[in-house]
Structure 1
Amino acid sequence: MSTSFSLVNKTAESKVYVSLSSPEAQLKKIITEHHFNRRLEILLPSDIYDGQLQSLIELNGISFGTNSKYYHTTTSLGSFLKSEYLDPFIKQNNCLVLSLGSIDRDDVYCIYDGVLRLSLRKETFERAGLQGKLSSYSKSRYIVQFDLRRPSMVLGNKAFDRLVWATENSPLRQPVQFLVRTYLAAKSSSSLPELPVALNAVPYEPTCLISHYSDEVIVPPLYPNKSVLQFKASKYHSVDRRIRSEYAVEVLKEGLLHILEWTALLSVESERIQASNQIDPLLSTYQVFADDNDDENDPKRRSCKVTKIAIEGFLGVDMVYDMFKSLQDRLPMISWAVFTVNGFEDAPVSWKSDEHSFLISGDNDYAIVIRPGRTANNDRSTIVYEIVGSADAHS
């Protein structure tokens, strides 16, 4: 059974939502509804990588099983509304389009699943004359949306004609930088045509860097609900059941935050989590989270070498999900792994259609900690962290 709750208060710069032992369907939803991904990182024991997972990465690139190519172009928004792009890539197949402006200062756009979403400055919105709604996080921004797959989205339709006019006669006509990724529809048996020459799109492949940590790191117990911070009742007076329950929740939250902090330190290869760490407590008091009866021979706290696989580019959800499933299927049941995905900080949305903004923090990430063993429902045991900035509709 999955348990979900928030780890931080409403005044924090970022929001962290956590789910324990999520079923496969929920894991798939979290991954496939997070459309705009710029980095994928996998951390796991080096001996497991060498023995079980090296085949995930081919010598000549990335074994995703799908086309991983994406494009960079500088053009106007109207280029994607012309029939030579709109018909084959949006209406008949699929594409991801993301502008590279700053969501706090510029007009930013994105397309996925055939839907065009615009986050516009007030001046642009008024001059374009489009229908939209006020942003949830700013009185000087507006959100506009068009489903380009609707049969009515053709020349001659009043709403579509107005959109085309706006891309030619308002600030929307200005060329901006875009990232573009195209892929076939699920049931398509044909191949994708080449991108229109007018886009002047330059193709790129994701970059992949594999690094092996030189020092062993301490791996904490990944089951915070079994931590040392259990409530000890006083022998002099009884304790209300509600207080016990509230305390248990706070203990669980603290343990989950410790694990999230450990994954971040692991990602940057911090010396603080190395088995050989001898830092003076006056300089740093951090210690890897441990149980009360923890010792060097405890398998839950063993130290090991770690391998990091870091992939960067414009990563589609099909690519990310294929990578996660391959990792999950090949990872031995006795082992652990951390699967982290970072989104674009200036994307107009985070998950699905949830409005995203930068303001204080543009966090737009999630991390899946795969724990040893299975749940009662025979799913792989996991901890899922969803991290977004405070100005984000995702919850």
Structure 2
Amino acid sequence: MLRGLQSCPRHLLVCEKSSFLQEKSRHSAHVETHYYNCSVSVLLPECGPLPERIKNTIGNIGTYYLVKNLPVYEFVKEEFINTFIKKGSFYALSYHTRIDQDNTAAVLPSGKLIISADKDTYEELGLQGKPSLYSGKKAMRYIVNIDLTDEALAPDGKKYQRVNWSLSEKKPLTFDFLLAWDNTEATSIMSYFSKYKVKACHSKITSSILRDLHCPVLKSGELHGQPEESCSSEELFEWLGAVSNNIDCNNSSSSFISTYCCPHPNTIVGQANLCTITGFIIPEKIQQLLQQLREYFDEPKLTQWVSLMVHGFADSPVSWSENEHGFHKGGENLYSFVIFNNEDYWLHKAVGTNDGCPP
């Protein structure tokens, strides 16, 4: 039994405290480089219906697209690169593919095409790559990274011919893809990929009002908490996860089902609004929502803080930026902001076993 406990999967949680007003604040960079987001939750203590500006921002979170049986070689075409990669942040992620068992692919807004392939597929492709960091001593998975903005990838060059031949003839790779683009004034995804089966999708939005909610007491300057004055950031992170998943936090130590309860010190708020968005949500939209939450305190509020929690796709090939992401037990990669009324914030970044330390 003890040996089993010692082998529990490790996870990483990074907590930091800063201010949006600080010149060197990294809040924007953390949002912008976490590319593939499937869920966003907002918790507003002491709030009933959503304020109109926040409601509108959530309602305009944007459309994304599901394209069936899309060949990967479409992404290396000059027309695609000129239409999308060079004119805004374009996001693509293979859909219903398992990062630990299947081939997967993604296009990053930086213009990188990432292919995570099993050993057989990698050898058939014949493209240069590197072993996965999480495939063990005997590499069974490889990562191919192709820079679509590389001048050497010009259509008349040998590199382009090699890549195009590998992806279109030698080992054609085809996936269902989720696509999104932050440029709404140029060629649409629907029209460009019209020869494929394309479906426009809208994020699902659920909003509920939580009554008589036990909320931790927080002080913006106490990241690690003073037992009698403020809940710690680690305790808060756990509590936010429980609340966003509708887990009852009003348990007792004698409860048979769950002994988890709200951290101390805490207080009861009459109502709190919990709003969750699920879909393919690009960082640009999350930035807009974060800005609205900052502006929420432009007028006096009963609460001193609100929170924003963002979950990444469990099977995306990257977590932050180009950091390789693996599944292991749960594929978790997520972050949360606690935004205080004085423009301070707490930032949590968490990943599971098959991930490097968040930036």
Please tell me the TM-score bracket, short chain as reference: 0.7 to 0.9
Residues 42, 339 of structure 1: 8 Å contact kept: yes
Within 1, Cα distance between the matches of 2:253 and 2:14? 34
Shift of 1:129: 0.8
Give matches, 1:226-237, under 5 Å.
226-228=225-227
TM-score (norm 2): 0.84
Question: Cα–Cα, structure 1 residues 170 and 302, in superposed 2: closer, same or farther, change >3 Å?
Answer: same
Shift of 1:302: 3.6
Equivalent in the alignment of 1:28: 28
Residue 143 in 1 paired to residue 112 in 2? no
Question: Cα–Cα, structure 1 residues 208 and 349, in superposed 2: closer, same or farther, change >3 Å?
Answer: same
Shift of 1:357: 0.7
Within 1, Cα distance between the matches of 2:291 and 2:203? 19
Equivalent in the alignment of 1:5: none
Residues 78, 154 of structure 2: 8 Å contact kept: no
Match of 2:295, SS? helix
Residue 270 in 1 paired to residue 247 in 2? yes
Give matches, 1:198-347, under 5 Å.
198-213=195-210, 215-223=211-219, 225-228=224-227, 255-273=232-250, 279=252, 281-283=254-256, 284-291=258-265, 301-331=267-297, 332=300, 334-347=303-316
Could you give the per-residue CA deviations for residues 3-26 of structure 1, whole angstroms, max 9, x where no partner exists? xxxxxx996432111112354531
Match of 2:327, SS? coil
What letter corresponds to residue 217 of structure 2 in structure 1? P
Within 2, Cα distance between the matches of 1:49 and 1:326? 17
Consecutive unaligned residues of structure 2, counting only runs of 5 or more, are 1-5
TM-score (norm 1): 0.77
- The number of residues matched between the two structures is 335
Residues 78, 155 of structure 2: 8 Å contact kept: no
Within 1, Cα distance between the matches of 2:100 and 2:82? 32
Match of 1:152, SS? helix
Within 2, Cα distance between the matches of 1:179 and 1:356? 18
Could you give the per-residue CA deviations for residues 162-214 of structure 1, whole angstroms, max 9, x where no partner exists? 1111112344x1421100112339xxxx633432322332111212111112x
Q: Structure 1 stretches (4+) deviating beyond 6 angstroms?
A: none
Within 1, Cα distance between the matches of 2:60 and 2:309? 18
Equivalent in the alignment of 1:181: 180
Equivalent in the alignment of 2:3: none
What letter corresponds to residue 11 of structure 2 in structure 1? S
Identity %: 24
Match of 1:301, SS? strand
Within 2, Cα distance between the matches of 1:42 and 1:288? 18
Could you give the per-residue CA deviations for residues 234-282 of structure 1, whole angstroms, max 9, x where no partner exists? xxxxxxxxxxxxxxxxxx9x93322112112211233324xxx6x5724
Could you give the per-residue CA deviations for residues 273-315 of structure 1, whole angstroms, max 9, x where no partner exists? 4xxx6x5724244332224xxxxxxxx6243311111111111
Equivalent in the alignment of 2:187: 192
Match of 1:161, SS? helix
Within 1, Cα distance between the matches of 2:282 and 2:349? 18
Question: Cα–Cα, structure 1 residues 10 and 145, in superposed 2: closer, same or farther, change >3 Å?
Answer: farther
What letter corresponds to residue 198 of structure 2 in structure 1? A
Equivalent in the alignment of 1:54: 52
Shift of 1:319: 0.6
Structure with higher Rg: it is 1
What letter corresponds to residue 53 of structure 1 in structure 2? P
Question: Cα–Cα, structure 1 residues 156 and 63, in superposed 2: closer, same or farther, change >3 Å?
Answer: closer
Equivalent in the alignment of 1:4: none
Residue 383 in 1 paired to residue 357 in 2? no
Match of 1:137, SS? coil
Within 1, Cα distance between the matches of 2:286 and 2:169? 38
Residues 53, 327 of structure 1: 8 Å contact kept: no
Residues 40, 310 of structure 1: 8 Å contact kept: yes
Question: Cα–Cα, structure 1 residues 92 and 44, in superposed 2: closer, same or farther, change >3 Å?
Answer: closer
Residues 218, 288 of structure 1: 8 Å contact kept: yes
Consecutive unaligned residues of structure 1, counting only runs of 5 or more, are 1-8, 231-251, 292-299, 375-379
Within 2, Cα distance between the matches of 1:282 and 1:183? 48
